[in-house]
Structure 1
Amino acid sequence: MKKILFMSVITAFMTVSCNQKSKEETAVSSEKTEKSAELYACPMHPEVTGTAGSECPECGMELTEKVAQTTAADNEATPVAVANEESSAITATGNVSKTAFPTDAIVSNYLNIKNALTKDDSNGAAVAAKNLLTTLNSSSTTSVDTKSKNKYNAFVDDAKAHVKHIGDNSGKMEHQREYFSLLSQDIFGLIKTFGTKQTVYQDYCPMYGEGKTGYWISETKDVINPYFGSEMLNCGRRIGAVK
């Protein structure tokens, strides 16, 4: 009798242990599945997504920005537009009129800063930056809807802060170039969202900013580097047209 009771206890214990192990394995498997399903985006090209650590095909940077997951209800409510992977152009998004904002004047002023830096002309970059600040301060958003206005103002506010550093630091080329890198991100976002009539390109230098911040917008067909100027004037490569 004791032997039968003992065997029953052992059997029950093994059953509980097996069930617990099965639950743990299921939990681990579920966790791995969730992690593998997480999407990450490129810091410079947020439309490019994939698994963590993958390389962005546009610029070669690692995908490090975690993408917020959407629910099935969200997906049903908001159709997602899929980009054409074969296109090398970086196109404007949204349905905002490309003439709603003075983006052409802003881009022209930005390009003047860029061209001065390619010539190692710190004073010229400062003058061009002050001209850009004047353009930014005089831009009007009265003719557009609130959502578009808020997007535009977000770009402009960041750009003002960065361009002021360039304008106020004539003679400090490295400081100007550091903030030109930040300004380039603002201009890229502005063009991508609201467009421009000018034909411009995004270029990249892997030697600047540890390969993370060496981006700029250019109107020239040749790659001319604003981060190193005469030291490495043609260092870099073209990523694509920005439309």
Structure 2
Amino acid sequence: MKTLVFSLLAIGTLALTSCKENKEQKSTTETSMQHDMSMMSDNSAMGDMPMDEKVTVTDAKKTSADLTELYSHYTHLTFALSGDDDKEAVSGAKGILASFPKIDKNGFSAEQKKEFAELEASISENAEHIADNAGKIDHQREHLDIMSADFYDLLKDFGTPKPVYKIFCPMYNDKKGAFWLSDSREVKNPYLGKEMLSCGEVQEEIK
């Protein structure tokens, strides 16, 4: 009799265990199916393209700046020096200094802001030297030489308001040479002035 009771209890226990396992398995299966359905829905929303193509961020186009006013004062400066006019050169240099705060830099990336700030600081420093040295045209021309290299980088990296020509003078500074920028191919040398006004050759067009 005891043997029969124990047998019945064992059978009942096995039945309950089997039922519990079936419920757990069913619950796990339903959860897995729900997860798969969710994944299928997400993939459908993403489209047929591979995931790595979906999350790729395209590089932003290089932002240009409106340098029209700034560059016009630079050309004012070079024309003044080509005419040996140190006082008018002061006016051009002051115009450069006044133009920088007006340039909108909001669209620049962090890297562009850093580069622009460095060029602005260097150009402004040389413009201040030119503005402060009326009557010392040789000194003004020395700073134009340095400034022109910075303007070249500025226009190359941030855009030009119009086609610009890089013109090289091989005779300036004991024949070490120097270049300036112009919106015309016509040579009017700001380093040698009226002494050798047409000395120079176009090396590059920037646009």
TM-score interval w.r.t. the shorter chain?
0.5 to 0.7
Q: How does 1:81-160 map to 2 (within 5 A)?
A: 95-98=61-64, 101-160=65-124
Q: Report the aligned-residue RMSD.
A: 1.6
- Partner amino acid for 1:106? L
Residues matched between the structures, number: 148
Question: 1: distance between equivalents of 2:61 and 2:170?
Answer: 33
Is 1:177 equivalent to 2:159 in the alignment? no
- Partner amino acid for 1:207? M
- Partner amino acid for 1:172? K
Question: 2: distance between equivalents of 1:209 and 1:131?
Answer: 26
Q: Percent identity?
A: 32
Summarize the Cα distance change of 1:213–1:154 in structure 2 as closer, same or farther, 3 Å threshold: farther
Q: Please identify which structure carries the higher helix content.
A: 2
Question: 1: distance between equivalents of 2:154 and 2:185?
Answer: 21
- Partner amino acid for 1:151? E
> For residue 231 of structure 1, what is the aligned residue in structure 2?
195
The answer to whether the 8 Å contact 2:74/2:93 transfers is: yes
**Aligned to 1:147, what secondary structure does the other structure show?**
helix
Question: 2: distance between equivalents of 1:213 and 1:107?
Answer: 22
4+ residue runs over 4 A deviation: none
**Aligned to 1:202, what secondary structure does the other structure show?**
strand
Per-residue CA distance 1:175-226 (angstroms, 9 max, x = gap): 0000001110110000011111212100001111244451100112211100
Question: 2: distance between equivalents of 1:213 and 1:235?
Answer: 11
**Aligned to 1:127, what secondary structure does the other structure show?**
helix
Per-residue CA distance 1:33-62 (angstroms, 9 max, x = gap): xxxxxxxxxxxxxxxxxxxxxxxxxxxxxx
Question: 2: distance between equivalents of 1:208 and 1:95?
Answer: 38
Question: 2: distance between equivalents of 1:211 and 1:116?
Answer: 22
Question: 2: distance between equivalents of 1:208 and 1:109?
Answer: 23
Question: 2: distance between equivalents of 1:95 and 1:210?
Answer: 42
Question: 2: distance between equivalents of 1:153 and 1:178?
Answer: 22
Deviation at residue 102 of structure 1 after TM alignment: 3.0
Q: TM-score, normalised by structure 1?
A: 0.58
Question: 2: distance between equivalents of 1:235 and 1:143?
Answer: 40
- Partner amino acid for 1:208? Y
The answer to whether the 8 Å contact 1:223/1:237 transfers is: yes
Question: 2: distance between equivalents of 1:215 and 1:221?
Answer: 13
- Partner amino acid for 2:81? L
